[in-house]
Amino acid sequence: MAAAGETQFTHCVVGSGPAGVACAHALLQRGAKVLMLDAGIVLETSRRELVTEMGSRKPADWSAEQIKNFKFGMSAGAKGIPLKLAYGSDYPYRETDAHMPADYDGVALRPSLAQGGFSSVWGAAMMPYSEKDMAGWPIGARDLAEHYSAVAKLTGFSGVHDDLENIFPLHNEPSTALALSAQAKILHTRLAQNREPLRAAGIHFGQARTAVRAGENGCVYCGLCMYGCPYGYIYNSDQTLRVLRENPNFTYRGDYVVTHVREDGEKVLVGGHDRVSRAPFEISVGRVHLAAGVVSTAGIVLRSREIYDRPVYLKDSQYYLFPLLLTRRAGDVRREALHTLSQLFVEIFDDEITPRSVHLQIYSYNDLVGQAVRQSFGPLAKILEPLARVLEDRMLIVQGYLHSDHSSQIAVTLKKGATDRLQLQAKLNPEVRPTIRRVLRKLMRHRGQFGAWPLAPMLQVSEPGRGFHNGSSFPMRENPGELETDTLGRLHGWQRIHLVDASVLPDIPATQITFSVMANAHRIGAAAAALK
């Protein structure tokens, strides 16, 4: 093993995903010298060349073969997309079992060793947490406000001033908004016409906020968003990483798989192995910030504390899908130039459903929706093709999320052996389906004001972890106990090791997780930079 040597870096950030780059950015702004260790798997050369080639041309100049290759491996069925790829590549998911062995029992959550983490395949939705959903936390929305603003400047975001702002502040002036699709315009117009009765019923709506470049030098509405943006207009934390690497106080080392950390007086020893050669390493630094993602961070913590056969519990924001059928057609949606990320957000506050908020993201047509419709018809697909075309023109897809109070959990246990292995096991919550049914019943009651109704028989409730809104394995507390963290993400007994990803969130609210995780990581980095 390499010798620890003299401490050269004041701070080490483990992981290059959204939390990692946000934390590193805050540290660098305050004069810290930062080392980032990252497994750093990147898109393979052949795929990168395809993206570069397509990104250098207008959509009208793309060949059918290029588009086919770009969409390679992606398909949709009645239950949604089995695995979301990036540019036809599975690189965000590669090599995880080789370096972080794990067994999954009824769990859809997976770790990532990719450079940029899962920001290469995320939906780019940006929403802060409401003060109500942070009730009982040791920090409040006001503690994150300046950090939301800093993160919004890092990622950029498309959005508008609307009614959502009263509950979910923008925190930064949005750039030019993305244009709504024809289907989304129909729904939004109907919602706006019924704003007051909907508000009285606890239903708030607005245009989706997304970390996407819009305007004159932005989105060209090619409809490929679900596969990856050839122009790089959808934010990926790799974009921030490239900026960080221009800072002389920042050092990036790829192919580093961190497996354990240990405090040693006024330094921290970070250990692991080289991703390619498997050679072990140990590096001495001043402080460590774990931003490896909730599965990897759990493994690092449990291994470092030598906690075996004792589970920690990841909270989940339950993810579910259902169609919303417009009462009027939107025209030939197949020929429309549009973006295929979330178009609208609907937020429901109704104590008869849950004391917490319910978050709905509404998507209009994309070719994966067309595939899913036809798959649901089974062997009758050809006969029912005319019906499929009618449904395409009217059908919106809703991605729903519940607060973790009404969602299942995931038990994460480290098992000792010749090679340590994690076990992730679903712990199902019987409240999940009744809560979702209450959401659907409320939408059905207000179908006239929506100009659309939910197709409840086509509801799909996913396995825990499928929405990748998970955390709370080592939650922040005012007075942390064992395996809990303080407001700077330090486990009870640690002083120089900070957890900065979603592992420290006390709960998982229904609204989108990435914006808040980045803001909290930025907050911890800013505060830790001032510590000796």
Tens digit of each residue's pLDDT (9 = 90 or more) over 351-361: 999 999 999 99
In degrees rounded to 5, what are phi and psi of residue 226?
-70, -20
**What pLDDT score was predicted for residue 332?**
82
Instruction: List, for residues 447-484, the tens digit of each pLDDT value.
Output: 999 999 999 998 999 999 999 999 999 999 999 999 99
| Greater model confidence, 373 or 196 | 196
Return the H-helix or E-strand segment holding 27.
helix 18-29
Beta-carbon count within 10 A of 463 CB: 18
pLDDT tens digits along 290-319: 999 999 999 999 999 999 999 999 999 999
19-44 pLDDT per residue, tens: 999 999 999 999 999 999 999 999 99
Mean pLDDT across the stretch 169-176? Answer: 88
Ramachandran class of 293: left when φ > 0, alpha when ψ lies in -120 to 50, beta otherwise: left
Residue 450 in tokens: 């929506």
Q: Within 10 A of 156 (CB to CB), how many other CB atoms are there?
A: 19
> Strands 34-37 and 250-253, how do they pair?
parallel
Structure tokens at 117: 């983490």
Provide the pLDDT for residue 530.
96
Element (H, E) at 361: strand 354-363
Distance CA 412, CA 424 (A): 5
Locus of tokens 């259902």: 322
Out of 3.50.50.60, 1.10.10.60, 3.40.50.1100, 3.40.50.1000, the CATH code matching 1-41+112-156+235-313+469-532 is 3.50.50.60
Q: Which residue has the higher pLDDT, 480 or 389?
A: 480
What residues does each domain of the chain span? 1-41+112-156+235-313+469-532
Q: Can you tell me which residue has the tokens 């519990």?
A: 313
pLDDT at position 371: 65
Q: 371 with 339: CB under 8 angstroms?
A: no
Cα–Cα nearest to 210, from 230, 234, 243: 234
Coil vs helix vs strand at 364 = coil
Percentage of the chain exceeding pLDDT 90: 86
Residue type, 389: R
Which token pair is 309? Answer: 């056969």
Cβ contacts of 341 within 8 Å, gap of 6 or more: 123, 124, 125, 178, 208, 210, 212, 225, 226, 234, 363
Residue 29, token pair as written in the block: 């702004």
pLDDT at 2 over 50: no
Confidence of residue 6 (pLDDT cuts 50, 70, 90): very low
Q: Out of 175-184, 278-287, 466-475, which region has the weakest mean confidence (pLDDT)?
A: 175-184
Tokens coding 79: 């239950």
DSSP H helices in 1-88: 18-29, 45-55, 64-70
Q: Amino acid identity, residue 313? A: Y
94 CA to centre of own chain: 18
Say yes or no to pLDDT of 267 above 70: yes
Q: Which two tokens stand for residue 178?
A: 């993305």
Of 86, 64, 72, 81, residue with least CA distance to 375: 81
Residue-level pLDDT at 105: 98
List Cβ neighbours of 431 (8 Å cut-off, separation of 6 or more). Answer: 406
What's the farthest any 2 CA atoms get from each other in the chain? Answer: 72
CA dihedral (342, 393, 202, 143) in degrees, to 10, reads 0
In 160-311, beta strands by DSSP E: 203-207, 250-253, 256-264, 267-274, 280-290
Give the whole-angstrom CA distance, residue 117 versus residue 130: 26
Location of structure tokens 């973790």: 404
Kind of pairing between the strands at 34-37 and 203-207: unpaired
pLDDT > 70? residue 76: no
pLDDT given at position 7: 54
Q: What is the pLDDT of residue 1?
A: 40
In Å, what is the CA distance from 261 to each residue of 297, 369, 517?
Answer: 11, 45, 22
- List, in order, residues 6 or more apart from 177 with CB less than 8 Å away: 158, 159, 160, 207, 214
Residue 232 zone, left/alpha/beta (φ > 0; ψ -120 to 50; rest): left
CA 470 to chain CA mean position, Å? 9
350 has which bridge partners?
A: 354
Distance of CA 405 to the CA centre of its chain: 19
For residue 77, give every residue at least 6 positions away whose Cβ sits within 8 Å of its Cβ, in sequence order, or none.
Answer: 371, 372, 375, 376
For 398-439, how does the pLDDT look when each residue is reduced to its tens digit (9 = 90+)?
A: 999 999 999 999 999 999 988 899 999 999 999 999 999 999
**pTM of this prediction?**
0.95
Q: Where are the alpha helices (DSSP H) in 132-219?
A: 141-155, 182-193, 195-200
